[in-house]
Amino acid sequence: MKTNYREALRMALREALASDPRVFLMGEDVGRYGGSYAVSKGLLDEFGPERVRDTPLSELGFVGAGVGAALGGMRPIVEIMTVNFSLLAMDQIVNGAATLRHMSGGQLHVPLVIRMATGAGRQLAAQHSHSFEGWYAHVPGLRVLAPATLSDARGMLAPALACPDPVILFEHVRLYNLEGELEDDPDAWRCDIRSAAVRRVGDAVTLVAYGGSLLRAMEAAEQLSDEGIEAEVIDLRVLRPLDVAPLLDSVHKTHRAVVVDEGWKSGSLSAEIVARLMEGAFYDLDAPVARVCSEEVPMPYALPLEEAVLPQPAKIVTAVKELMGRK
């Protein structure tokens, strides 16, 4: 069926609420307003205010309430409006939810799902547009997901709710309007939350991406194909724990890699991926691993400047050609 990323997320939320009375959704404007990105539109009317709860504007408060509800046996889905605002709840996420299973010797579990919008591309300026996925992927005790396709948007929530550990689900703002076909057969979109995915097969270079950067990598791969360079594209999907095996298998074949990451280069997730490739595939590489990241500035508001800061297909194509000694 024809649908979009936003509707795929809504389908997953509706299924979760309908199938398990322990599940409820909470966050700023998720109820009457229908969510800042319209993902939860209509769910309040369908499930009522006990299951779809508008919260005060306090990330520290309502994320903490979600942690408590999860400890009490519920299956809360907490929506944080944008990743920048999640920093106000960092203590609850990193010092609380991520540590309790370990500190209790396995006696406590925090089956909490936190959804949040991330990334740039919609002229929302510096306080609403950054990509902090790598910060959370650094933390043991969390599972970090970045669905970049309709099928993953539809299929990742159920296994996330079944996970005994807190799961953070990053939804890139440029993907909400992404349209495409979603199979009616659930087996086509049901997925695990452990594995990376090969989105395009090639033998000349490996492109590693996730979230909103996947579309840019795929576009760059098509441009490269027109010039006779067949790129293999790996969608990380799961940022913690990283599934490195598909990356190593690809580099064993292509002997070159470019990592595309909307985060800043310094201290980024891309740096970790490069290190893993160097540790596991150093002797297979014919050139140093390259990176295409956002420029190291706060995200501008003006559209031309925002576009200039972000990893674009042209930048990826240029990086691949430089890696291969082509102009």
Q: Does residue 181 contact residue 127 with C-beta atoms inside 8 Å?
A: no
Q: What are the C-alpha distances in Å from 131 to residues 169, 172, 236, 239, 294?
A: 13, 9, 15, 13, 9
Order of strands, sheet of 75-80, starting from the edge strand that comes earlier in the sequence = 52-54, 23-27, 75-80, 113-118, 167-172, 143-145, 238-240
Place of tokens 């996925």: 133
Query: 4: burial class by Cβ within 10 Å (0-12, 13-18, 19+)?
Result: middle
Q: Of residues 128, 133, 171, 172, which has the active-site annotation?
A: 128
Annotation says 59 is catalytic: yes
Q: From CA 84, how far away is CA 216, in angstroms rounded?
A: 23
Q: Of residues 7, 28, 59, 79, which has the active-site annotation?
A: 59
Closest CA to 212 of 271, 247, 166, 263: 263
Q: From CA 36, how far away is CA 57, in angstroms rounded?
A: 13
Q: Does residue 65 contact residue 97 with C-beta atoms inside 8 Å?
A: no
Q: From CA 105, how far away is CA 159, in angstroms rounded?
A: 23
Amino acid at site 299 = M
Q: From CA 167, how far away is CA 241, in angstroms rounded?
A: 11
Annotation says 255 is catalytic: no
HSE-up of 22 (CA within 13 Å, CB side)?
13
- Catalytic residue numbers, as ranges: 59, 128
